[in-house]
């Protein structure tokens, strides 16, 4: 059974709608900003990426009752991206009836640390009865998928996955496999991550974030840059509607592209792999496994949306792609990373980046690698500089790849094709 993409939704630091996000991609517009709160709390990295959501926009998705005691940016972002993707796919949510052919897999790393904090203080002060009815749904791991389930009437599988930075890409592959197996007709898939000091603090303590651009967030050295000194944390959500080709054709809706296949694996935290670093052999196996599942060869790939986080691991990732593809130099495909514009959106990174990948596939363009004026010399030794565009490129794209690598030495790679 063939599976296609019929809807897109995004809530990113540089765009909270598909038109705004697409314009940002083409123009290399950053959504990074300085946060005085991080400076007050003595963070080394005082900049990050967070979507800007007005009170009016919130009320386009939630009722006043639902917003009462609501304190979960992650759920907010996920609902915005998810509902927009369903609208884009012309899927009417069930007001009275459950939709048994529609499922949801919306991943998350953590859900509403701010709500956890509020609840803990109430409990410590002996005010447990003041927690109300909102603390559980806003803090449970599956909170985002549960909210979306209630808002849409989705009654197929409704769940949440969690695989660190590979979460969003894994969610799309799980949804693809469910439709391909004939267990669902439509799946809303993606991931979300809230942000701020309680989410970003651990990464700051690990010294994997950059401290060099606190006064100039829009100029923070991007992925693959010689000056890259660590990632900038981000937050947001991305979502796609996957659908069987037969259903999409029957409904007569727009088809953005096709999911050709993919793979998920782990490096076992062995042979160079660890909690925070990928095992290169496993990365290469994951990429090759995705090619095999999609029934494409490495020389068919026109473009790669990399994981590429602006750390010392960027050249290693390029080397792994060269080995897996069997391509290097000027024969290497175009490659870019969204993180120069949005920061590293953690559990949401894969889904937001998948939305950007589909937009490029459908629009036949490759967005620029922001703030990568001088490419890392180890990367230049592997691939031609033209493969790492610093300005937007208009080009025909037929087969593209998206990869994500997460804490815990987990990997995911998905292959998309034009329809």
Query: Both 245 and 287 in a single domain?
Result: no
Query: Both 224 and 356 in a single domain?
Result: no
Query: Both 282 and 393 in a single domain?
Result: yes
Write phi, then psi, for 338 (nearest 5 degrees): -70, -20
Query: Both 18 and 130 in a single domain?
Result: yes
pLDDT confidence band for 36 (50 / 70 / 90): very high
Strands 102-108 and 158-159 turn out to be parallel
Write phi, then psi, for 231 (nearest 5 degrees): -85, 160
Tokens (6 digits) for 94 = 């069930």
Query: Both 252 and 282 in a single domain?
Result: no
pLDDT confidence band for 288 (50 / 70 / 90): very high
Query: Both 236 and 271 in a single domain?
Result: no
409: CATH:
3.40.47.10
Q: Any idea which residue has 């559980």 for tokens?
A: 136
Closest CA to 280 of 114, 409, 137, 92: 409
Question: Which residue range is the domain that position 158 belongs to?
Answer: 3-257
pLDDT confidence band for 93 (50 / 70 / 90): confident
pLDDT at 228: 94
pLDDT confidence band for 95 (50 / 70 / 90): confident
Q: How far apart are CA 394 and CA 366, in angstroms?
A: 6
User: If you average pLDDT over residues 65-75, what whole number do you get?
Assistant: 90
Closest CA to 4 of 248, 294, 183: 248
Number of domains within the chain: 2
User: If you average pLDDT over residues 75-104, what whole number do you get?
Assistant: 94
pLDDT confidence band for 69 (50 / 70 / 90): confident
Query: Both 350 and 406 in a single domain?
Result: yes
Last residue of a domain, one of 233, 257, 281: 257
pLDDT confidence band for 354 (50 / 70 / 90): very high
List of residues 6+ apart from 120 with CB closer than 8 A: none
Please tell me which residue, 233 or 92, carries the higher pLDDT value.
233
Write phi, then psi, for 405 (nearest 5 degrees): -130, 130
Query: Both 286 and 187 in a single domain?
Result: no
pLDDT at 325: 98
Question: What is the residue-averaged pLDDT of the chain?
Answer: 95
Last residue of a domain, one of 215, 236, 257: 257
Tens of pLDDT, residues 124-143: 778 777 777 677 777 788 99
Query: Both 339 and 398 in a single domain?
Result: yes
What predicted TM-score, i.e. pTM, was given to this entire model? 0.96
Q: How far apart are CA 217 and CA 228, in angstroms?
A: 13
Query: Both 220 and 330 in a single domain?
Result: no
Percent residues over pLDDT 90 in the chain: 90
Last residue of a domain, one of 208, 237, 257: 257
Query: Both 200 and 282 in a single domain?
Result: no
- Of the CA atoms within 13 Å of residue 168, those in its CB half-sphere come to 34
3-state DSSP helix/strand/coil percent for the chain, to nearest 5? 40, 20, 40
Helices (H), 105-191: 113-124, 135-139, 143-152, 167-180
Query: Both 162 and 293 in a single domain?
Result: no
């Amino acid at each position: 059974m063939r599976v296609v993409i019929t809807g897109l939704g995004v809530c990113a630091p540089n765009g909270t709608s598909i038109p705004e996000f697409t314009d940002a991609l083409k123009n290399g517009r950053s959504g990074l900003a300085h946060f005085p709160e991080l400076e007050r709390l003595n963070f080394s990295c005082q900049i990050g990426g967070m979507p800007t959501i007005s009170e009016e926009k919130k009320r386009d998705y939630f009722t006043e009752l639902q917003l009462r005691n609501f304190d979960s940016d992650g759920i907010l972002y996920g609902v915005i991206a998810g509902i927009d993707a369903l609208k884009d796919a012309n899927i009417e949510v069930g007001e009275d009836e459950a939709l048994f052919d529609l499922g949801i897999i919306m991943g998350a790393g953590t859900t509403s640390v701010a709500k956890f904090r509020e609840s803990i203080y109430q409990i410590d002060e002996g005010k447990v009865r003041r927690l109300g009815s909102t603390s559980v749904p806003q803090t449970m791991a599956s909170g985002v998928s549960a909210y979306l389930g209630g808002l849409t009437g989705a009654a197929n599988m409704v769940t949440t996955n969690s695989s660190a930075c590979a979460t969003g890409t894994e969610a799309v592959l799980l949804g693809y496999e469910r439709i391909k197996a004939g267990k669902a007709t439509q799946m809303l898939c993606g991931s979300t991550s809230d942000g701020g000091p309680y989410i970003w603090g651990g990464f700051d303590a690990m010294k994997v974030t950059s401290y060099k651009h606190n006064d100039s967030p829009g100029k923070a050295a991007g992925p693959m840059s010689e000056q890259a000194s660590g990632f900038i944390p981000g937050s947001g959500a991305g979502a796609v509607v996957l659908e069987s080709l037969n259903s999409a054709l029957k409904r007569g809706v727009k088809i953005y592209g096709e999911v050709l296949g993919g793979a998920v694996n782990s490096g076992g935290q062995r042979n160079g792999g660890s909690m925070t670093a990928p095992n290169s052999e496993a990365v290469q196996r994951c990429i090759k496994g995705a090619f095999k599942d999609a029934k494409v060869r490495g020389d068919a790939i026109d473009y790669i949306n990399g994981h590429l986080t602006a750390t010392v691991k960027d050249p290693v990732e390029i080397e792994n792609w060269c080995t897996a593809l069997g391509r290097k130099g000027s024969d290497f495909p175009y490659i870019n990373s969204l993180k120069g514009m949005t920061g590293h959106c953690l559990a949401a990174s894969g889904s937001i980046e998948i939305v950007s990948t589909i937009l490029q596939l459908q629009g036949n363009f490759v967005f620029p690698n922001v703030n990568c004026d001088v490419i890392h010399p180890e990367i230049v030794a592997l691939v031609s500089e033209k493969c790492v565009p610093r300005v937007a490129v208009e080009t025909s794209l037929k087969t593209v790849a998206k990869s994500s690598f997460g804490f815990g030495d987990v990997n995911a790679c998905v292959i998309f094709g034009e329809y």
